[in-house]
Structure 1
Amino acid sequence: MKRLIPDTIFARLFALIVLAILVSHLATFAVLFGFYGERLPPSPEHRFEPAPQGTFGLPGNHRPPMQPPWQGKLPPPHAPEFKPMREGGPPPGLWIGLVTQFIALTIAAWFGARVLARPIQRQARAAAQLGETLNSPLLDEEDGPAEARQAAQVFNQMQRRIRAHIDERERFLAAVSHDLRTPLTRMKLRLERPDENIQTDRLLSDIDEMAMMLNATLDYLRDESMVEEQQKLDIHALLDSMAEDARENGRDVTLAGEARPIWTRPLTLRRALSNLIENALRYGHKAAITLTDAPTSLVIEIRDAGQGIPADKLEAVFEPFVRLETSRNKAYGGVGLGLSIAREAARQCGGELTLKNADGGGLLAMISLPRAT
């Protein structure tokens, strides 16, 4: 239910001051009139006798003697109901009233300070806990005035961003370590066949790929380049080069279809494709790549010849370090980061990665990338 009066610090402070003034004045009136007797009686009635007509303007200005202008008697100066102010200052009751007001306002200010400081104290304790552990509980965003609730929301958002930033860095470092295994494996296999002249160029290509990964990692950690800039990429040439590299090492990788160049983040997209191809080869023994071009999108499909994944686990496998031992043999290795890295990379390129079991067997991974319009 919406409040008629906003629950803000100003409203609370204003209500508190009004209440303090009201209470202090009530206490003052109680002291002045409750402990010092009744009020003075009304002054005696005055009744003036009119002067006789025709007495003014007579020769000799004869006037009758004037009558007293009042009837009744005034109380004696020191009667109980006559209480003039004491000489030299106000009566004691006024002093007591002022002291009562001061005490009431002091107590109200003390309680007010506690009420107003409580949300700030909670935030200070939460900040201290956040410095000790990122898993500290969030602040209650429904408690306190509007300003305190807003501050709690901002603090919780900051805590979530810090936690997400640390988690992202940890995943990024794990992803880079995972990605470096691919060019290292290719280099190892090529060094075992040094008699082929083409291996020198391929080794240099692998070294360049590793250098790009390491440079991107350093840039990320230094906050110099949080997001890779988009460039025009010949996606068919990239996939053809990756397929050829795999075939040189005895892997079954094919490429079908054509596609126009696309504006994307080349290194990030290569990371996604490399992980999907390696995942298909590891668990499905082959990778059939198909390009489907459209005016507004580009779809890259990578199909393997493995056992597939249970339908209820198609999303779970995208979680970091998740491996399905029931359908994927543990002997194939891996730490369960490939699909997680691939989806994150696809999303950084503005696309999306989905999985489904292909008709006739095998797992089908699809990356859909938008084209700039």
Structure 2
Amino acid sequence: MVSWLKRFAPRSLGGQIAVLIAVALLIAQAINFAIIFQGRRAVRLQSVIQPAVTRVIDAEERIATGRFRPGPRARVRLAPANPIAGSTTREAAVEAALRAELVDLGLRTGAIVTQVRPIDPNDPRIAALPPRQKRRMLRAGHELIIAIERPAGDWLVLRSFWPRGDGPLVATLLVQTLILYLALLLPLLWATRRISGPLRSLASAARRFQPGDDEPPLEERGPYDVRALIAAFNQLRGRVSAMLEEKDRMLGAIGHDLRTPLAALRVRIESVDDDGDRTKMAETIDEMNKTLDDILSFARLGRSSEPAVATDLGALVEAVAEDFHALGAAVEVAEAPRITLKLRPALMRRALRNLIDNAVKYGGGAQVSIVSRPAEVAILIVDDGPGIPEDRLEQVFEPFVRVEGSRNRDTGGAGLGLALARAIVREAGGDIALENRAEGGLEATVLLPRR
């Protein structure tokens, strides 16, 4: 039941408030209906009981004095036997209340039987009634027959109009409820829309926010509290952008200050006579430059000045593979259909290069293929290396994390390659997953959405 309610309950602010008010009104109206129906039943009961008691007392007095001579239009008459024996439309409440009233007045009675039946407009007794009383009887629609057994064995029979069912009252109450719903819910829906509209715009702007975008400030509209929230968001967005710009300037200065001495060292090692020492020193400096590039690129991710453009994914993968072919690496690319995606090509090229570079270093080569799917495109990079322990497959995506054993620092790098690759792919709306193959080696899957 709870899961069903969660599934079909409205999720918007306006919908939830409207449903809450509607349910509260429904409960209030149900209580109101119950009170009205109970009161109406009590009034109807009294409108029958009191006149009936009065007529019974009057009839008993007339019978006792020998003056009881009912005419054809009389509402009280004597019958030698119960005229409504076997009634199936009895009103037990009327019988009980009438008996209680007669007992209180000291009148002894036997059985009391009632019957509700439709009024026949052609009944001679109805035709003999005064016009006003006749109209009341016909409007009531039904008449109540009350048969009271006297101690003498005969029966007093009374007739009274009995109002129709509660249909007219129900219709009136339903119309009243509808008017109440319209009077309350329409202004409420307007008010909640005035609140939820700006909130939806705010949520959309927060999801779209990318530092460095030249998007204008969000319009401040809605009630005061919502306008204050939008103003705070605009200010926060400005502060975040300013902080990131300051960070970029600082990173640029740090990169310049670090590359300058590295470049000086690169020049100075040329004077080293030993070729082996000079080569090792040059490799160390190159590794330091690469690590510095990775760190700066990772720190600047999300602030790229490169726009997303329509890119031929197959051509991009081929270009990365050609770079490795030039270095003598064994990288094979399977033929793939032409697929165009909107990407930042330089960043995606770097992500693929990092993944293929790992496959070449730890597996001796890489096999790259592109698989087209209805909603996404998968780039599979497979190697024949030792793989990664299952409990470390996610951990290796964290910055500066490296797997010990075959994948150690002897192969170079600071543990930023996979972290940078995943960050680039996620910025493009995709993701990277690693999986050990049953036949040995590792498979890296780059998933990119079609959009």
TM-score with structure 2 setting the length = 0.35
Point out the structure with the larger helix share: 2
Point out the structure with the larger strand share: 2
Structure with the greater relative contact order (CA < 8 A, sep ≥ 6): 1 or 2? 1
TM-score with structure 1 setting the length = 0.41
